[in-house]
Structure 1
Amino acid sequence: MSNGWELSAQAWIDSMGERGDWGREHVLDPVMLSRVAAGGFGRALDVGCGEGRFCRMLKAAGIAATGIDPTRQLLEVARQRDPSGDYRSGNAEQLEFEAASFDLVVSYLTLIDIVDFRTAINEMARVLKSGGSLLIANLTGFTSASADRGWVKDAEGRHLHFPVDRYLEEFPFWFEWAGIRIQNWHRPLAAYMTALLESGLQLTFFAEPGPLSGDPAHQERARRVPWFVVMEWRRPAVG
């Protein structure tokens, strides 16, 4: 069964410029890039790279980046925008790289797309070098639990609250915006934390970031609901 990405690829490309969408530009990018800058990384794997935006940001930071994605059209655009880049067709659940190949693996809003996320996390951990980091940006379970319903509003359209329901379950849902319709997955935070701990990685950074810029209306709503979580997990250094 399709998860919607092939049919939504063009709409995604049309809506996602170099600055990304609002959440990426004003909330996630500052945190993700600060972790990248602090790590002294040399070689990175971007799992679910899409049209290659974050790979290009890694490249600008002096890091040799490889991007993988299962969506053909997104990879074609990534190669067009970065002809010297390394973009490959691939799935997170079966990474075609040797163990300990990268000192940085990035999962930037991709775990919510992956059906077998536990296998994917183990694969990301496998390809990390000793002392390397897995840097994750994800939706919080507080928002993904009812993301397909969105805000509860009053008769005048004012945002009253964001609902939370079925939080402890794991289930897929269809999310639609800007001509894009894709299947995402809701999981409680504990599901991700347990899988990451069982992979042998150690948590070194955790944040539920708010916006650092952007228009005031978006900022106000983004501070009322924790949309995103950013985590950095490290493979323990050997010796």
Structure 2
Amino acid sequence: MSDGWDDSAQAWIAALGDAGDFSRRNVLDAPMLDRLRVANAHDILDLGCGEGRFCRMAAALGARVVGIDPTAALIAHANTQGGAAYYEAKAEDLPFEDSSFDVVVSYLSLIDIPDVPAALREANRVLRPGGKLLIANLNSWTTASQSKGPPVRNSDGSQTLLMDRYLDIFPSWAEWNDIRIQNWHRPMSFYMQQLLQTGFTLAHFDEPKAVGDHAEFYNRAPYLYLMEWHNS
């Protein structure tokens, strides 16, 4: 069964462009790049790199960057833009030797990966000792409500989410701007337990505030978080 990415690839490329969407441009780009600066990494792997936008941003810091994604059309576009090495591959089966990278990045890609435990094991395998796994993800209450439709904006500026089956794990479909892709809902406890069981140690956690356009609206009901985990 398709996850929608092949059919949505061109619409995704058009929607993201060089600037990125609101979540990336106004919320996540700056703190994600700050964590990479602190890491001072020489070799970075981006899991689910899509069209390669964040790979190019990371490479601008001076690192060697590799991006992988299972969607051929996204990798083809990334290769036309350059800035990093791009491979068509799955996070659950990485085509790299052990201890190849200083940092592995998952930038809003965990919700797209069917087998997260396998992907985390692979990330740990390709990280060097003392390596870092940098994750940006949707809050689980957001993914738990996704199948119920978009948030309702109330007259006072607040939002109402219809949340269901929070403790379950299930796929649902997200649709916007001619994009229709399958995401996975998983409770926060699932991610935390899997990361701990894989051998990672939590070193940093943040729920970044938005800046710029529509920041006040987003900051009233944020839906993104950032984590940095270290391996042994």
Shared fold, TM over 0.5: yes
After TM superposition, the score normalised by the length of structure 1 is 0.92
Listed as ranges, the gaps of 5+ residues in structure 1 are none
The separation in 1 between residues aligned to 2:26 and 2:226, in whole angstroms, is: 14
Partner in structure 1 of residue 177 of structure 2: 178
Q: How many residues align?
A: 231
Partner in structure 2 of residue 28 of structure 1: 28
Partner in structure 2 of residue 230 of structure 1: 226
CA contact (8 A) 2:131 2:230 kept: yes
Give the partner amino acid of 1:133: K
After TM superposition, the score normalised by the length of structure 2 is 0.95
Instruction: Describe the SS at the equivalent of 1:145.
Output: helix
Alignment RMSD: 1.5
Instruction: Describe the SS at the equivalent of 2:165.
Output: coil
List 4+ stretches of structure 1 deviating above 6 A.
none
Sequence identity (%): 48
Give the partner amino acid of 1:77: H
Listed as ranges, the gaps of 5+ residues in structure 2 are none
Deviation of the 1:197 alpha carbon: 0.3
Counterparts of 1:204-223 in structure 2, within 5 Å, are 204-213=203-212, 215=213, 218-223=214-219
CA contact (8 A) 1:208 1:230 kept: yes
Instruction: Describe the SS at the equivalent of 2:45.
Output: strand
Counterparts of 1:91-106 in structure 2, within 5 Å, are 91-106=90-105
Residue 202 (structure 2) pairs with residue 203 (structure 1): yes
Deviation of the 1:58 alpha carbon: 1.1
Cα distance 1:158–1:107, how it changes in 2: closer, same or farther (>3 A)? same
CA contact (8 A) 1:151 1:159 kept: no
Cα distance 1:166–1:98, how it changes in 2: closer, same or farther (>3 A)? same
Deviation of the 1:153 alpha carbon: 4.2
CA contact (8 A) 2:120 2:195 kept: yes
Instruction: Describe the SS at the equivalent of 1:27.
Output: helix
